[in-house]
Amino acid sequence: MSKKESFFGDIRKHLMTGVSYMIPFVVAGGILIAIGFAMGGIYVYDTPGFAADIFAWGKVAMNLMVPAMAAYIAYSIADRPGIAVGFVAGMLANDQGSGFLGGIVGGLLAGYIVKALEQIKVPDVIKSLKPVLFLPLLGTFFVCMAMTYVLGGPVAWLNTSMIDMLNNLSETGGIILGLIQGAMSGFDMGGPVNKAAYTFALAAADANNWKPMAGIFIASMSPPLGVALALALFKNKWTKVEREGLGGCIVGGLCMITEFAIPYAAADPIHVLPAIIAGSSVGAALSYAFDLSITAPHGGLLVILLANKPVAFLIILGIAVLVTTGLLYVLKPKVTESEEKTLSL
């Protein structure tokens, strides 16, 4: 095996380790959010009460998924000294709005920075301070420098540029707008590109144009549902731990909680992300083509009756799901024995 192949194999192992520790946060948080919506409606967070508390608890868990992933990517690279630095990198990714892709970058940076710092020799008299003082302090400093001054600026620029692009496209044609809006929604599932697409839909809704929101609904629901169908049909392409997320993906898709698809995209972005992006893109484009609208900012199937054409909405959602599932079958390789062991730790 060449050094290049070995390096990318190591990267994949680190990503899978981070994902295995992230999954419980996604499952617990996503299901609590879904229960909150079911009990209190799509505006549950506006009305104090038990349903709002359940929703808030779910949000807390979901907000920890990127830091947990980044921390354990760093742990996979640099062992225990990397955990704290990785958590900080993941929190910065959350604050910057760079989503799970920012968490992946931050976790890898944290791990390799700490691993490099570990090679520095220190006098024996202060050697015991190295893992509890020098490595977390210097590692956090350097990873924060990189995340803030290298990654932070492009994230802010990207968000603004994407919103401007969508506003310009809104004057050209619905299908093209849908293709791009859907692709953006599926690209980073909560990151700056996704947020730009959703912000555009919210702005259009404020102007009483709910068509972009229908596109966002389908583009956001199809990733976890497409993954769920692939988990059920193509078991040899997923590890045992990944297959255990089938129920969560179904719940997430039906309730418009796209984040249930993130662990699968984070573990294998090269093969999974194109399938998710294609399904979301096709779904949103068809939504515009069939003139769909839905007068709600969130809620998935809980608010399906607010769609102007509920049956057409479900059919187009099904097509988007099948596109994602079909491409996962074509693109995703079978799981190897070593990968199975990595995610079962």
Three-state SS at 199: helix
Sign of CA dihedral 60, 342, 257, 167: positive
Nearest 5°: phi and psi at 121?
-80, 140
**212: closest CA among 170, 250, 264?**
170
Burial class (CB in 10 A: 0-12, 13-18, 19+), 13: middle
**pLDDT beneath 70: ranges in the chain:** 1-9, 156, 159, 169-173, 337-345
Crossing angle of helices 99-118/81-96, nearest 10°? 150
Three-state SS at 307: strand
Region of residue 49 (phi > 0: left; psi between -120 and 50: alpha; otherwise: beta): left
Whole-number Cα distances in Å, 249 to 75, 225, 246: 27, 6, 5
Contact yes or no for 290/282 (Cβ under 8 A): no
Contact yes or no for 254/184 (Cβ under 8 A): no
Quick one: how far is CA 84 from the chain centroid?
Answer: 22
